[in-house]
Amino acid sequence: MLQTIGEDAFSTVVLTSAVPVLVHFWAPWCGLCRLVEPLVDHALKASSLPLRVVGINADESLKLASQYRLRVLPTLLLFQNGEVVGRLEGFHDRQDIQRRLTHLLHQVTAISSPQLADRHR
């Protein structure tokens, strides 16, 4: 199950994380938002990337929704070292979410691989 955090924990959980963090902005009224969580779980199980995933209710976190210029829900933002390095929004269906999420995870692997290699030196 996806850990849901609020604005008060965002800086600690996301911006200062030692591993990449995928943030799922959602709302209770958003039907497509409910499709994202199981697809994220499935994609992460297929990946060896150390990645943390959290959810944020956009209706209850208006400051973050404004700060990250959310235009549509669901929106997935990928953070690395406190910076947004990937953004997924405007999904059409389950297959579109899965395809784009897989592509994003491959990008993160490429970004993280040199850093992970440096840690082992």
> Which residues are part of the catalytic machinery?
30, 33
Count of beta carbons in the 10 Å neighbourhood of residue 40? 22
Give every CB contact of residue 9 below 8 A, 6+ residues apart in sequence.
Answer: none
**Angstrom distance (rounded) from CA 97 to CA 107:** 15
Which own/partner contact pairs does 85-88 have at CB distance under 8 Å and 24+ positions apart? 85/20, 85/111
